[in-house]
Homo-oligomer: A and B are copies of this chain.
Amino acid sequence: MTRRPPLPPDLFDELCPSPLLPFRFGDKWAPLVLHCLADGPRRYSELRVPLGRVSSKALTQSLRGLERDGFVSRTVYADPKLRVEYALTPLGRSALEPLDAACQWATEHWDELLDAREGGDGGLAAG
């Protein structure tokens, strides 16, 4: 297992468009999970760090959904002790492209999105 830096707790800070952009990929946490897996497999407990407010139930749900739909693979290692790793499948990796495109679009039009929201009730459509 290559040594990669752990996922920082502030990976998704308040200004990151990912959680707020009007695109949804799967459920609430799915796009963030995919993003977390972009640079290699991660363990369940690793994923919880940057997501912060995710409950174990919600994360499990997201992961099960992503696994069921073929975006991530789940591998259990019992080497010396229990370890579960989630990794992107080729399908999941290919999905990062449109996901990133959506994220980049949101970043580019962030100001317009905020302008439109001002004077409204403060929520993106279903977002």
B116 touches A105 (CB 8 A): no
Among A28, A71, A104, chain B packs the most CB atoms within 10 A around the CB of A71
One complex includes copies of this chain to the number of 2
A115 touches B70 (CB 8 A): yes
Q: Does A46 contact B (CB under 8 A)?
A: no
Chain A, interface SS category: helix
What is the size, in residues, of chain A's interface with B at 8 Å between Cβ atoms? 37
A65 touches B126 (CB 8 A): yes
A105 touches B97 (CB 8 A): yes
- Residues 47 to 102 of chain A near chain B (Cβ within 8 Å): 62, 65-66, 68-71, 91, 94-95, 97-99, 101-102
* Interface-facing stretch out of A7-15, A19-27, A36-44: A19-27
- Separation of A125 and B115 alpha carbons in the complex (Å): 31
Name the B residues within 8 Å of A127 (CB-CB).
Answer: 26
- Separation of A35 and B120 alpha carbons in the complex (Å): 24
8 new A-B contacts, CB < 8 A, other than A24-B25, A70-B115, are: A26-B127, A27-B126, A65-B124, A69-B125, A70-B116, A91-B109, A98-B104, A101-B102
